[in-house]
Amino acid sequence: MPPQRSRRLQPHRPLRPHQWFAERLLAVLSGQRPVHWMLGHTIGEAYDQLAELAPSTPLRATHGSRPVLRHCRGAQPATGVVEAFASIAAGDRVRAMAFRLEQGADQRWRCAAVELGGERLTAGAPGCR
């Protein structure tokens, strides 16, 4: 009988900031988490935008399919800035989300802007209610 080999487990890689934020934004914009879950993780108008949009759950489940993050990529155009995009699927529907992260003096990343499907999520804009 051949000796048993132990499987090497891949070490768990921590999520990159843009992946972590994509998951959080999806949870809020799909109604899975309350908007105040993003308190302290946003700057500028980003929290106000999310607070106004979250009740309409723009990324909610369709036909019983819970939305999932399919892909998420980020680029660093400048030190302390990440511009990211993600694709989100719910059933046969796929949506695009883009967002900007900025790193503060405390080295923490915060969301500064969010867009869905090419439209900037601006509080009070037509179609955002």
What's the average pLDDT block by block, 10 residues per block, for the chain (129 residues)?
Answer: 59 86 96 95 92 88 89 97 96 91 97 81 47
Q: What is the DSSP string of the chain?
A: -PPPPPPPPPPPPPPPHHHHHHHHHHHHHTTSS-GGGGTTSB-TTHHHHHHHHGGG-TT--BTTBPPEEEEEEEEEEETTEEEEEEEEEETTEEEEEEEEEEE-TTS-EEEEEEEETTEE--TT-TT--
pTM of the model: 0.80
Tell me the CATH number at 65.
3.10.450.50
Residue 76: inside a domain: yes
Show the domain range for 90.
Answer: 17-120
Residue 53: inside a domain: yes
User: How many domains are contained in the chain?
Assistant: 1
Residue 1: inside a domain: no
Residue 2: inside a domain: no
pLDDT at position 119: 57
Residue 9: inside a domain: no
Residue 31: inside a domain: yes
